[in-house]
């Protein structure tokens, strides 16, 4: 799972001068399943909407 959070993790302000910083992040992400053939260096990858047992077994 590769996540793309557009939120601020930490910010530093002088004590008493903290500001609120608006963020408009969305919890976007990509679910990838992949394998690597060590002998040939070939990579096979699939993108899915969700993970579950059926997708894992089909992969």
Q: 3-state SS of the chain: helix, strand, coil percent to 5?
A: 10, 30, 60
Strand 2-4 to strand 28-36: parallel, antiparallel, or no bridges (unpaired)? antiparallel
The token duo for 29 is: 């992400």
Alpha carbon distance 54, 51 (integer Å): 8
The token duo for 17 is: 């001068």
Q: Residue 44's pLDDT is what?
A: 94
Tens digits of per-residue pLDDT, 1-44? Answer: 676 666 666 677 888 888 777 766 666 778 889 999 999 999 99
**Strand pairing partners for 34?**
45
User: Which residue reads 């903290």 in tokens?
Assistant: 18
């Amino acid at each position: 799972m590769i996540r793309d959070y557009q939120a601020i993790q930490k910010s530093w302000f002088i004590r008493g001068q903290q500001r609120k910083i608006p963020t408009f992040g969305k919890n976007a992400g990509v679910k990838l399943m992949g394998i690597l053939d060590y002998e040939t260096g070939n990579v096979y990858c699939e993108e899915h909407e969700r993970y579950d047992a059926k997708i894992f077994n089909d992969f």
